[in-house]
Structure 1
Amino acid sequence: MTVLAAGLALLGSLFFALGAALQQFEAARTSPAVLGRLVRRPRWLLGGLSIAAGTALHVVALKYGPLTLVQPMGVASLLFALPFAAALQRRRPGTRELAAAAVIAIGLVGLVLVVPVHTGEPHLSTAEAVVLLTGASAAALALYVTARHASRAVRACLLATGAGVLYGATATLTRVLVDGAWEPWFLLAVPMPALLALALLQRAYAVGHFGVAFAALQVADPLTAVAFGALLLGEPLPTGPASTLTALVAAALTAAGTAALARTTPMSPSHEATTP
């Protein structure tokens, strides 16, 4: 069952990476990159179906294997996504580009592995849910405003980080809906941050720096979910000198890899002609 869970999670990462590459390819070619325009593009919709398939496989994997095994497998989507995106752009992924992605993946795996598994039933009150949604929306809005005055690579990173924060809030609400006690209006609340995150992510993809945007998303989403889980659901955080040191080293690797990826990943072809 453990091998099956690992295989399903890895296959899910493959589908997720392919979907992200397809959606970024279309977002970079669409001006402006708004959902109303993108949903009319078959390749973008195919990317959405691929992401949905990857998510479903990841959920099934969690039924057969522990979180500490399945979650790190999701990091592989970053390593898969860069070759997919390069193939769509008819180029080969650079060695330094893949090396930076590998550093980010190692850092993310380290962060995931030091988070203790929470076995209790999660509970979220109405007030806590409002705090969750308000806090995530405010953070995403601040990142969006800041991104408007940033360089292209930084803009892609900030917009994708905002999307990751909103996806992290969505994941927190979903965990409560699946395993815990919740209020009926949570069912209506879940799609709101998810749709906002999707719209924000397409803007990040449209900037042209796919590697930076996808890496920022992969970092912000799980870290936001862990933070909300600790603050609102009472889930444990790493304790002890060894776990704390591992978390710090992993965070440093993730940050360094993201910065390196911003310097090594080329722009999408549709933007190269207008970039001085």
Structure 2
Amino acid sequence: MNPTLVAVALSLVSAVAYASAAVAQERLAARSAGSGTLRLLAQGAWWWSVTLNASAALLHVAALKYGTLTLVQPLGALTLVAAVPLGARVAGRRVSAVEWRGTALTLAGLAALLVTASGTAPDEVLSLPQALAVAGTTAAVIGMLARGARPGLRHATAAGFASGVASALTQTVTVAATDRSDSPLSAQVVVVALFVAVFAAAGLLLAQTAYQGGLGAPLAVVTLANPLAAAAIGLSLLGERLQGGAAGLLLALAGASVAAWGVVTLSRSTPEPAATADPHLGGLADDDHPVAAVLALEPNGAAYEPSFVPRQTDSGHLTSR
């Protein structure tokens, strides 16, 4: 079977699962406002959304086994696309013209990227020295971007960068662990897996910080920075190549630009979370904007824990978000 088709199919199902879980979490948060996290944990619907999140993450990991980083990571934007009709159906409303336009642009751009990013299943992995260099560089970049406590686009960029690197390292773990020529628990696999956990968690926390200053622009920046960081590693260290030579490169750039336009359009259709977020549940209570529910996830599947992250309120107390 064509590995590219397998990777695309897995990424598509993963995106639908992520979007379904996000919409479910948003709806549950709206219905359970003020009930607190502990009561939420006792509800079967919440655990069903957690199961969807975990399943989506596993599907994303499987896609990285069959597809290159330049193919799989941009497809993470499909989560935003899938959230639009799912959220509209649950809320009993029609998809807006802006959402249709953003969806069409994103799909058109991703289609162009698919033509140029298709190829054989990945077989190269980062060596341990390369993984250490990537981790060190990533930590330094994140440290520079995340300086200062005030949330902003720098935190969003750092979040996308961390998540993209986590996915790139996940591919190394997946390919190396399934390569029968070596032990699945080699030092390389164990060390890189630890880096995955660190950067995935960092991406989640940085994204939560960025979203405190507003949703639209940070969501777009996270969604776009993620595949850029992963593709940089794939093209520079893993021998990935775009198909079609110079023409393929131009098509890829055009597709990326159109997809980015679509992501920004979808992000602008979401509300600001400050007015509707419940401090105990971390969800948004506005049923008219399903894409906002994707905040329950870290974009592109790099981290998939529910968004109940401790945050400090203006009064200095810790609440769950």
Same-fold call, TM > 0.5?
yes
Measured against aligned partners, the alpha-carbon deviations of 1:214-252 in whole angstroms (never above 9, x if no partner) come to: 544443323321211222223224562211110121122
Matched, 1:265 2:267: no
Provide closer, same or farther for how the CA distance between residues 48 and 20 of structure 1 changes in structure 2, counting only shifts above 3 A: same
CA distance in 1, matches of 2:55, 2:221: 22
SS in 2 for 1:117: coil
SS in 2 for 1:148: coil
Q: 2:209 aligns with which of 203, 206, 209?
A: 203
Q: Which has the higher contact order (CA 8 A, sep 6+)?
A: 2
SS in 2 for 1:190: helix
Matched, 1:221 2:226: yes
Provide closer, same or farther for how the CA distance between residues 139 and 87 of structure 1 changes in structure 2, counting only shifts above 3 A: farther
Q: Indicate the structure (1 or 2) with the bigger Cα radius of gyration.
A: 2
Provide closer, same or farther for how the CA distance between residues 56 and 143 of structure 1 changes in structure 2, counting only shifts above 3 A: same
Question: What residue number does 2:247 align with?
Answer: 242
Question: What residue number does 1:80 align with?
Answer: 82
Where structure 1 has 5 or more consecutive residues not aligned to the other structure, the ranges are 29-36
Deviation at 1:57, TM superposition (A): 3.5
The answer to whether the 8 A contact 1:101-1:257 is kept is yes
- Structure holding more helix per residue: 1
The answer to whether the 8 A contact 2:80-2:266 is kept is no
SS in 1 for 2:276: helix
Identity, % of aligned positions: 31
Q: Residue type of the partner of 2:138?
A: A
User: Number of matched residues?
Assistant: 258
Measured against aligned partners, the alpha-carbon deviations of 1:9-38 in whole angstroms (never above 9, x if no partner) come to: 43322111123445678999xxxxxxxx97
Question: What residue number does 1:103 align with?
Answer: 105
Q: Residue type of the partner of 1:195?
A: A
Q: Residue type of the partner of 1:81?
A: A
Matched, 1:53 2:55: yes
CA distance in 2, matches of 1:201, 1:87: 27
The answer to whether the 8 A contact 1:26-1:38 is kept is no
Matched, 1:169 2:165: yes
| RMSD (Å), alpha carbons | 4.3
CA distance in 2, matches of 1:262, 1:111: 20
Provide closer, same or farther for how the CA distance between residues 46 and 195 of structure 1 changes in structure 2, counting only shifts above 3 A: farther
Q: 1:148 aligns with which of 127, 147, 150?
A: 150
